[in-house]
Amino acid sequence: MKYKRYIQPGGTYFFTVVTYKRRKIFQDDEAILLFMKSVKHVRKNRPFEIPAYCICPNHIHMIWTLPENDGGFPTRWRLIKSYFSKNWGQAHQKASTLSRENKNEQMVWQRRYWEHYIRDEDDLNKHIEYIFYNPVKHGHVDSPSKWKYSSFLDYVEKGLYPVDWGMKMDTEYFQDIGSE
């Protein structure tokens, strides 16, 4: 059965993208900078807004808002993953020499990713908070403000969240969100 994605031009989406076999590629600044460079590279020709993001060692959460009359997020993800893989492979020869069975692919990403169409403001806010809380959920830090690979501090700087938000959260709040 072929998976059919819901495409809504101008839509806002929550994404989870996972590394192949959950390898902790994003535990160093070099990989994170290259990922952000990959996103920037693609946004030059295929713009989109990023209301929130979090980069964890083995997965990434992002929310994107696409331009009006444009629903092409699958192409954007393909280009981002490809740009990252190509450049990561050149920089890390050993990591890139593995290949999937009968395919000449670098083993950097899981082939698929999770997407969720954001239905309304409440849905958006829940997914933003899920993203911000994710590094705490996975035990990387005890507060979202301590995770530097997230847009949480941008929200704090704008006065949208207090710096101590998420230190003592009930994780039941997030049980129906995300694939992580």
Distance CA 63, CA 39 (A): 13
pLDDT tens digits, one per residue of 93-142: 554 444 444 344 468 999 889 999 999 999 999 999 999 999 999 999 99
Task: Give me the amino acid identity at 21.
Answer: K
Torsion of CA 114, 115, 119, 121, to 10 degrees: 80
pTM: 0.87
Q: Quickly count: other Cβ atoms within 10 Å of residue 52's Cβ.
A: 22
Structural domain spans, the chain: 12-174
Strand partners, 62: 15, 53
Average pLDDT score over the chain: 88
**pLDDT range class, residue 160, cuts 50, 70, 90:** very high
Q: Quickly count: other Cβ atoms within 10 Å of residue 171's Cβ.
A: 9
Q: Which residues are catalytic?
A: 149
- Domain 12-174 class, CATH top level: alpha beta
